[in-house]
Structure 1
């Protein structure tokens, strides 16, 4: 049995969950999320917690059990606390700024790169080099951070580029073998 799927999801105060067949809606202080789960799993609300169960022991049900539990847990956490991803920009003259809702990146191209975040995602910039992406949907926050990082991924010789906070970039020696 799935170890993750067996775990109970606690529902914090101020969060309400509505289960309508396979559609699970979660509403909290930060917003509202809903998701249609596959037919192989079943979600039940017991007191102040949620339990994700399999309908049967078929292979597709076993495959989706832990995934669906994690998706529902992320929805509950997102509407109560929210998610955020931090990016660091390294390089001489590389910087970011917010204009309206858009993120403008100056990362070595001839023109600045403008990125419009999806609905429900907030972008903030600290010290011109730290970008903070926040929102209630973990999947969209992660995808937005990955798209911003893909504009100029860190290169291995000098380490210039956009990286996740705390990401370690392995450096190469270069032609002459100098450090």
Structure 2
């Protein structure tokens, strides 16, 4: 393992551009734009950066553990934003349970997810503008967006509509989630 020297370079793909506008880094790519407010992230002034054609160079101004950790975290955040405008993020989800269904309703501006989750009325979730959804079957759907944190935030809110049951596993969950079921108490 190599020792971290306080300097990290984040690679910028060819069809992605990074510019600085009013203390913000604006990352533009083929799918859209995202911005990172460096002034709010770096309140203590422990970071310096330089933008070139192919890289964003981040350097630590103070040799402390906190500064090193901050630079690594910020580099990871910038890599996520660059990947978001370049490819986007997708979260596959499913609905498990007898009679549980999901459908996507697209109107002019609004995308709604309609859930049948065993309640007396359907649960309707209005998606924010920055997250899109499409249904692959009656029990599975996908969320898509440019920002990973927004996609995961919406996924967490959807899971909260009907959290998976510990005994039968019924509910809304991410595809591939390993869910350990409890055993029913026996006499």
TM-score if structure 1 supplies the norm length? Answer: 0.89
Structure 1's unaligned 5+ residue stretches are none
Assess, with a 3 A threshold, how the Cα gap between structure 1 residues 146 and 135 changes in structure 2: closer, same or farther: same
Distance 1:57 1:30 in 2: 37
How far residue 51 of structure 1 moved from its aligned partner, in angstroms, is: 2.0
How far residue 102 of structure 1 moved from its aligned partner, in angstroms, is: 0.7
Aligned match for 2:164, one of 147, 154, 161: 154
In the TM superposition, structure 1's runs of 4+ consecutive aligned residues that sit over 3 Å from their partners are none
Deviations 1:76-134 (A, max 9, x none): 10000001111111100001001121111111111111111112110111111112011
Residue 54 of structure 1 is matched in structure 2 by 60
Residue 127 of structure 1 is matched in structure 2 by 137
Describe how 1:62-141 pairs up with structure 2 within 5 A: 62-100=68-106, 101-141=111-151
Paired positions, count: 176
Distance 1:62 1:21 in 2: 25
Q: CA RMSD in A?
A: 2.1
Distance 1:7 1:86 in 2: 32
TM-score if structure 2 supplies the norm length? Answer: 0.86
